[in-house]
Amino acid sequence: MHLRRRPQVLTVGGALVAMALSLAACSSSSSSTPPSGSSSSGSGSAPAGGSSSSAAAASGTINAAGSTFQTNFQQTAIQAFKQSNPSITVNYDPVGSGTGRSDLYKNTVLFAGSDSPIPSKEASEVPSGKTVLYFPVQIGPIAIAYNLPGIKGLKLDPAVLAQIFQGQITSWNNSAITALNPGVSLPSTAITLAVRSDSSGTTQNFSDYLVMAAGSAWKLGTSSTIKWPSTAHEANGGNGVAQAVKSTSGAIGYVDFSTATASGLEAASIKNSAGQYVAPSSSAATAAASQVTPKSDLTFVTVDQGGASSYPITYQSWDLVYAKQPNANDANLLKAYLGYLLGQGQSLLSQLNLAPLPASIDSMAKAQLSQITS
């Protein structure tokens, strides 16, 4: 009797272990703390103790976290950087701008990627006595992707865009849209909105754009999470939105240009403040950024810039670094890697359907590298 019962008990035990494992897997996949390799900012100095004789070439590990918008660029740049600097390891954890900044304040990363400057609400969280340096690293367009079979080069202006995303225009043959697209026969298909369900720098910058360009016509405000009309299809991540647009006829959504291109989606041309309709592209994004006059701390706003060839919904991302590093090696590591991102690294951006910084901003950022000290 006892012998016959035992295997069954084991089975249940196995099931419980499996349950625990799957629960653990669940919790780690949704955890927001960097999973590995980001123990402390001091980790860069540990291996340096042995090789301090070769002072010029820093070696060690840079742990960084932040913006998901930078993921592709950082991963590509880390691979390329590793080839010329085999003694430096860079880990970039795409946990989101907000979490990245919070990690920087808690000193668990050496730099944080962020799609916006530190918001005023958050200023009190920056440790006192620390100066944060902003290094702009990349520019990129937000595409207004749509799914209307057979219709290419749809034209939209900020006011109509605001009305569409507020659920006020509900079908494609609405007179406001047809007026902008003479000669195009738009179907009577209902408009399905595809938006982000997660908080996102893309949402933040898209709503910033609508606030600036559409003015009082845009009533939903600006934030990393917007209270969309309840009819909107909310999807997780840029890929989720692209998937939703792709699978629904009559859908429209805002996604990174790189994601839209990878999913083969059509993107609308948007009327910029110079009155021109411009389609999203790498060069149109750089054109928009070249109109920008950055502040002395190198923060700036790229959305809704003038210039005939500027794509108006263009945004940017920074790497945030403390000016004063705890030791010389960390400072050298950061100078080497950020110097690479601002130098050779910029040439990697166009192939990723992102855009390089205009030369003027790039040279200012390079000059700022000398402010990283120990």
Q: Is 230 in the site for other proteins (CB under 8 A)?
A: yes
Q: Residue ranges of the alpha helices (H) in the chain?
A: 2-29, 45-48, 71-84, 97-105, 158-165, 175-180, 201-214, 237-247, 257-262, 282-289, 328-342, 359-368
Among 72, 74, 138, 207, binds other proteins (CB under 8 A): 207
Q: Is 10 in the site for other proteins (CB under 8 A)?
A: no
DSSP string, 51-77: TTTS-SS--EEEEEEE-STTHHHHHHH
Among 85, 168, 222, 276, binds other proteins (CB under 8 A): 222
Nearer to other proteins, 146 or 228 (CB): 228
Among 35, 37, 221, 343, binds other proteins (CB under 8 A): 221
Of 119-127, 257-265, 320-328, 335-343: span binding other proteins (CB under 8 A): 119-127
**Are the C-beta atoms of residues 190 and 231 closer than 8 Å to each other?**
no
Q: Is 102 in the site for other proteins (CB under 8 A)?
A: yes
Q: Is 95 in the site for other proteins (CB under 8 A)?
A: yes
Beta sheet of 269-271, edge-to-edge order = 155-156, 269-271, 277-278
Among 29, 83, 128, 296, binds other proteins (CB under 8 A): 29
Please report, for residues 200, 202, 259, the alpha-carbon distance to residue 137 in angstroms, rounded to integers and kept in the order given: 18, 16, 19
Nearer to other proteins, 33 or 52 (CB): 33
Question: What is the distance between the alpha carbons of residues 157 and 216, in angstroms, rounded to a whole number?
Answer: 14
Q: Is 236 in the site for other proteins (CB under 8 A)?
A: yes
Footprint of other proteins on this chain (CB under 8 A)?
Answer: 8, 11-12, 14-15, 18-19, 21-23, 25-27, 29-30, 32, 68, 95-99, 102, 116, 119, 121-122, 124-125, 197-201, 203-204, 207, 220-228, 230-236, 240, 243, 247
